[in-house]
Structure 1
Amino acid sequence: MNPSIKKLARIAEKETRMVIGLMSGTSLDGLDIALCEIKGSGQETEVSLLKFITKPYLKKDREKLRKVTSVDQVSLKDLCYVHTWLGQLHADMIIEALFEWDIKPEKVDCIGSHGQTIYHLPNRDLNGGDTPLNSTLQIGDGDHIAVNTGILTISDFRQKHTAYGGEGAPMAPLVDEWLFTDRKEHRILLNIGGIANYTFMPAAEVKDLQKFSTDTGPGNTLIDAVMKSRFDKPFDKGGKIAASGNVIKPLLKMMLKDEWFKSEEEKSTGPEYFNLKWIKEKEEMAGFSGSDISDKDMVATVTELTARTIAGSIQNHTPEGLPMVIYPSGGGAHNRYLMKRIESYLDPIEVRPFTELRFSPDAKEAVIFAVLANETLAGFGFNFNTKYGSDQNVHFGKISFPG
């Protein structure tokens, strides 16, 4: 029998596993590394976050990734190289983090790697493609991570989701239900990354309410794009620039008319849809040119768009007057002005720090992928309503052995 398969079986049978979860989002700021101790599986999953760090990308690394991310045309030579290079870079970052934590690689049972999404293409964005398919693509080769760390690696989680008819995103709701359902409290697990998404998690003792999860549209992606193009800065720290500007109401109104915001089903999106080109199109439709709107007013306007669309989606998909608590995570949770605007629309819904749910909001997405990996190793999978019209238990990810 293949000794790697034997080792895999031993790991699966352990009562407690040490799993590293990795997340690199559309902001391209760095690699989140979460070292988790995970006991059990399925609804019985228990997670302790032992260590967490974000290893920042160098400026040259970010530029290398931008060349192949969310663009219509790319050099195959560049894409081939960057896929391998990123796997090696992530392996180096993991080894560096383990050294800093004084933890030997052999103590880690598994790595769950999200990779870097370079293109996300739900069927609704195909515009008449030959075959109606949801597709998504992540790079950062799992074999290179496994070989260069010596640790079993699971990657490419989103592909199984699309194979069964899902859009490959958001993935967090699958785990949110296991980790964050409360017996009495109705919760909104709001994540504001490049794209914003949330899970409405009804209290367990209330049987007539259903979980709902969706992307709401742009989170930080338009804010960051405007900051990069107009201020040569990666993001609007604390929302200070947005707070100093004025919302251009005719432009905001035109943005909110976009058909994407009108559909009510669970859905996903990415910077392939919401980008500077999209802003320019809305400007022209509203009768503006780029020079008509000041830099700070544009930041204020796209920030308001994020706040309005997050709040609007939550209001549309949760019962009116239901007492709920919002727990925000992701980079946008640190944008104080953005959070203030969201709260103003959702008042009197209470907003509490994500730390009340046991760990840092910055670590949440990486923890999600540690749990996804753990379930592939040791569980019966996630209940998922597939394109075949029935609930099935599905495991996500491809396994790479280190040797």
Structure 2
Amino acid sequence: MNKNIDNLYKIAKKEERLIIGLMSGTSMDGLDVALCKFRGSGGETEVEVVAFETVSFEDAIKDEIRKIFAKTTIDFQQLCVLNPWIGNLHGQIVNDCLKKWQILSEKVDLIASHGQTVFHAPKILHKLEKFPNATLQIGDGDHIAVKTGIITFSDFRQKHCAAGGEGAPLAVYGDYLIFSKKGENRILLNMGGIANFTYLAGNLDANEVFATDTGPGNTIIDAYVKKHFGLAYDEDAKIASQGKINQELLKALKRDVFFGKPFPKTTGPELFNLEYLINAQDQSHTTELSHEAILATLCRFSAETIAEAIGFLKRESFSIYGSGGGVHNPLIMNYLRELLPNFIFKKTDELGISGDAKEAVLFATLANEAVAGGETNFGSRKGVPSVSMGKISFPE
């Protein structure tokens, strides 16, 4: 037997596995690194976050990614060279974190790397009849494995697309395995660049799990603040809180056909970007609005589309556990509480895992399931194929 296969077999048989989850979202703020200890798999999965850190990206790194990010026309050479460059960058960040945490790489069983999304193109967006759902994440897993000396799982979203999904949201799988609770209907709401949620039924039936994107979370807000104020984000919604919602602009923002498409569905900054905002302003004759009014309206736009998507479930009560940058935006959170007055809002921190670490932990969970589980049946519904995800890269 090849020694790499033999090593992977031994990892799968272990009672405990130490797995590093890596996540870099569409905001490109940095790389989330979560060192997780796993026991069991499937419905018996137990996870403990041993260490966690978000390593911020310098502007020079973000600038290189932005040259191809969410663009239909790019320099193909830039895409080609970025793939290994990002892989090496992520690998070095892992090495640096392990050194800081005083943990030898030999003690880590696996790395689960989401990669950096550069383009998301489900059929609902590309509208090209003969082509399937598609998505692209870069940060080559082989480079991470060689750089760290650790077996690496990567490129998770391709299997989801191959099995008929849209490549997102993938949080549904880890959400079910880690966060389901008998007797409590839960929504795990993630408000990153794009907002999405997972519904977990209190009867623990995997066939009832439901997940969908709802529309923008912070992506247009962050892009607007960067362009007009030179800031990465509107901290505590200080700027937006000074503005007044413009109803005409809000109506125009919500007019896109995406919001009329059936659930589940996915989207990305390929649609929801500054150009989208400019078009909505032109349609609503609101090009002279103040920055504060525009940001207030964008916050309301995110909140209303999230609330309306949750309303689609037609359930009377949930506990909603939030994560992602949006939970730190008090204006969005206040709007959500107003729009969903019968729901209890909490943070995933109350479930034992930091909301900031959640996405990285969920990809570590996918890798754990790939080696030690894979028997959970999510049924045959659109958007949640019962598949094992992640391509394997050996360090040797």
Could you say which TM-score interval applies, normalised by the shorter chain? Answer: over 0.9
2:329 alignment partner AA: N
TM-score, L = length of structure 1 = 0.95
Task: Report the CA distance shift for 1:117/1:209 in structure 2 as closer, same or farther (over 3 A).
Answer: closer
Q: Residues of 2 paired with 1:194 and 1:355: CA distance?
A: 20
* 5+ residue gaps, structure 2: none
Q: Residues of 1 paired with 2:271 and 2:185: CA distance?
A: 32
Q: Is the 8 A contact 2:307 2:339 kept in 1?
A: yes
Q: Residues of 1 paired with 2:349 and 2:130: CA distance?
A: 44
Q: Residues of 1 paired with 2:160 and 2:385: CA distance?
A: 12
Q: Residues of 1 paired with 2:384 and 2:218: CA distance?
A: 33
Map of 1:345 onto structure 2: 339
2:374 alignment partner AA: F
**Residue 74 (structure 1) shift:** 1.2
- Work out which of the residue numbers 362, 367, 370 in structure 1 matches 2:364: 370
Q: Residues of 2 paired with 1:273 and 1:15: CA distance?
A: 44
**Residue 392 (structure 1) shift:** 6.5
2:394 alignment partner AA: F
Aligned pairs (5 A) from 1:376-387: 376-384=370-378
Give yes or no for the alignment of 1:313 onto 2:309: yes
**Residue 381 (structure 1) shift:** 4.8
Q: How many residues end up aligned between the 2 structures?
A: 396
Q: Residues of 1 paired with 2:207 and 2:105: CA distance?
A: 44
Task: Report the CA distance shift for 1:348/1:385 in structure 2 as closer, same or farther (over 3 A).
Answer: closer
**Residue 237 (structure 1) shift:** 0.7
2:34 alignment partner AA: A
Task: Report the CA distance shift for 1:134/1:208 in structure 2 as closer, same or farther (over 3 A).
Answer: closer
Map of 2:201 onto structure 1: 202
Task: Report the CA distance shift for 1:208/1:328 in structure 2 as closer, same or farther (over 3 A).
Answer: closer
Q: Residues of 1 paired with 2:383 and 2:279: CA distance?
A: 40
Map of 1:172 onto structure 2: 171
Q: Is the 8 A contact 1:382 1:395 kept in 2?
A: no
* 5+ residue gaps, structure 1: none
Map of 2:60 onto structure 1: 60
Task: Report the CA distance shift for 1:390/1:183 in structure 2 as closer, same or farther (over 3 A).
Answer: closer
Map of 2:83 onto structure 1: 83
2:390 alignment partner AA: G
1:311-342 per-residue CA deviation (whole Å, 9 max, x = no partner) reads: 111112232xx232111001111112211111
1:205-236 per-residue CA deviation (whole Å, 9 max, x = no partner) reads: 7x799332110000000111111111111111
Aligned pairs (5 A) from 1:186-335: 186-204=185-203, 210-289=208-287, 292-319=288-315, 322-335=316-329
**Residue 259 (structure 1) shift:** 1.4
Map of 2:40 onto structure 1: 40
Q: Is the 8 A contact 2:206 2:379 kept in 1?
A: no
Q: Is the 8 A contact 2:24 2:115 kept in 1?
A: yes
The Cα RMSD (Å) is 1.8
Give yes or no for the alignment of 1:361 onto 2:352: no
Q: Secondary structure of the residue that 1:87 maps to in structure 2?
A: helix
1:276-326 per-residue CA deviation (whole Å, 9 max, x = no partner) reads: 11111111111233xx1111111111111001111111112232xx23211
Map of 1:134 onto structure 2: 133
Q: Residues of 1 paired with 2:30 and 2:48: CA distance?
A: 23
**Residue 260 (structure 1) shift:** 0.8
Task: Report the CA distance shift for 1:94/1:391 in structure 2 as closer, same or farther (over 3 A).
Answer: closer
Task: Report the CA distance shift for 1:71/1:51 in structure 2 as closer, same or farther (over 3 A).
Answer: same
Task: Report the CA distance shift for 1:313/1:177 in structure 2 as closer, same or farther (over 3 A).
Answer: same
Q: Residues of 1 paired with 2:147 and 2:131: CA distance?
A: 38
Q: Secondary structure of the residue that 2:269 maps to in structure 1?
A: coil
Q: Is the 8 A contact 2:119 2:135 kept in 1?
A: yes
Aligned pairs (5 A) from 1:81-160: 81-127=81-127, 129-160=128-159
**Residue 375 (structure 1) shift:** 1.0
TM-score, L = length of structure 2 = 0.96
**Residue 264 (structure 1) shift:** 3.0
Task: Report the CA distance shift for 1:382/1:25 in structure 2 as closer, same or farther (over 3 A).
Answer: farther
Q: Is the 8 A contact 2:211 2:383 kept in 1?
A: no
Q: Residues of 2 paired with 1:342 and 1:23: CA distance?
A: 26
Q: Is the 8 A contact 2:249 2:280 kept in 1?
A: yes
Task: Report the CA distance shift for 1:315/1:390 in structure 2 as closer, same or farther (over 3 A).
Answer: closer
Task: Report the CA distance shift for 1:288/1:258 in structure 2 as closer, same or farther (over 3 A).
Answer: same
Q: Is the 8 A contact 2:166 2:383 kept in 1?
A: no
Q: Residues of 2 paired with 1:269 and 1:299: CA distance?
A: 21
Q: Is the 8 A contact 1:19 1:374 kept in 2?
A: yes
Task: Report the CA distance shift for 1:68/1:383 in structure 2 as closer, same or farther (over 3 A).
Answer: farther
1:200 alignment partner AA: Y
2:328 alignment partner AA: H
Q: Percent identity?
A: 45
**Residue 364 (structure 1) shift:** 0.4
Map of 2:392 onto structure 1: 399
Q: Secondary structure of the residue that 1:247 maps to in structure 2?
A: coil
Q: Residues of 2 paired with 1:72 and 1:355: CA distance?
A: 38
Q: Is the 8 A contact 1:212 1:317 kept in 2?
A: no
Which deviates further from its counterpart, 372-381 or 43-52? 372-381
Q: Is the 8 A contact 2:207 2:378 kept in 1?
A: no
